[in-house]
Amino acid sequence: MTESCASLRAWQESPLGRAVAAAETRLLGAAMDDVFGLELLQLGTWGAGRELLGGSRTRHQAVVCGGQGRLGRGDLVANPAMLPVAGGSIDAVLLPHTLEIAPDPQAVLREADRVLIGQGHLLVLGFRPWSLWGLRAAASRSGFPPGFNRLISERRLRDWLILLGYEITLARRYLYFIPAGPGARAGLQGRGALRRGLFNPMPAGAYLLKARKRTYTLTPIRARRRERAPLLGGLVNPTV
């Protein structure tokens, strides 16, 4: 395991990392309330094993590890940009901060689109670059959390999804607390993790985007039958 992967795993097991994963588990539980089907695929490990999938209503769930240094426990070790999964066979795909540390995030997004069925759901978690969390990631040499040097904004992700033909069905922001000092201790106690509150001026540090894959059916157009000239009274006038 590389040093960066070990640092990220240590952060995930810290009180702050556990609080973030717990808040995201509650957030995803509500977001997946209408996600049904046979298979849900999580690309990348985050939290403690299958923690984020606790609220899933699909019949089966699988975790693909490999793109995040094989952190945690997974069901399949594979490159998220090259999945050994048949196209159009997955009902929902979850990307828990996977795009932010992937060498080619657009390739991972295209691969998720490939395996999704028509009208399938795509759920993405990400940290906001223009927030206190994003500023700390930019100011830290190793990133924050460790390895998160390149954050993807919600607006950019929306543009990518629209180009792929997706419809945004839900957008939620969360982590309304400072990721250090007293603000972090307040976040550990659950205050500001998912809601801003009446007297909380802090901007959100992360977002959830849920999108649905749109499909377009081709309507066959019946060819017009060629009109035949009548047998009687249909003689052509002679030309000069």
Q: What digits encode the pLDDT tens for the residues 142-156? A: 889 998 988 999 999
- Whole-number Cα distances in Å, 157 to 6, 67, 160: 28, 19, 5
Peptide bond into 145 cis (omega under 30): yes
When pLDDT is averaged across residues 17-38 and rounded to a whole number, the result is 94
Query: Which CATH number is 118's domain given?
Result: 3.40.50.150
Q: Which residue has the higher pLDDT, 226 or 129?
A: 129
Report the 10 Å Cβ neighbour count for 53: 20
The answer to the question of residue 23 being in a domain is yes
Domain assignment present for 222 = no
Residue 85 token pair: 């999964």
Q: Which range, 39-48, 65-74, 106-115, 184-193, is most confident?
A: 106-115
Does the residue 48 lie in any domain? yes
Burial of 70 by CB count in 10 Å (0-12 exposed, 13-18 middle, 19+ buried)?
middle
In the numeric block, which tokens belong to residue 16?
């702050």
Question: What tokens appear for 56 in the block?
Answer: 């899933």
**pLDDT of 178 over the 60 cut:** yes
- Of 16-20, 119-123, 139-143, 209-213, the poorest mean pLDDT is in 139-143
Residue 16 in domain? yes
Give the pTM.
0.85
228 belongs to a structural domain? no
- Kindly state the tokens that stand for 227: 């009109």
In a domain, 33, yes or no: yes
Strand partners, 171: 209
Q: How many domains does the chain have?
A: 1
> Residue 61: in which H helix or E strand, if any?
strand 60-65
CA distances from 208 to 41, 96, 139, 145 (A): 17, 9, 24, 17
Does 83 fall in a domain? yes
Q: How many residues belong to the chain?
A: 240
10-19, 117-126, 178-187, 217-226: range with highest mean pLDDT: 117-126
Least confident of 51-65, 157-171, 209-223: 209-223
Strands 39-43 and 60-65: parallel
Domain limits at 11? 3-213
Q: Does residue 177 form part of some domain?
A: yes
Which pLDDT value is given to residue 219? 59
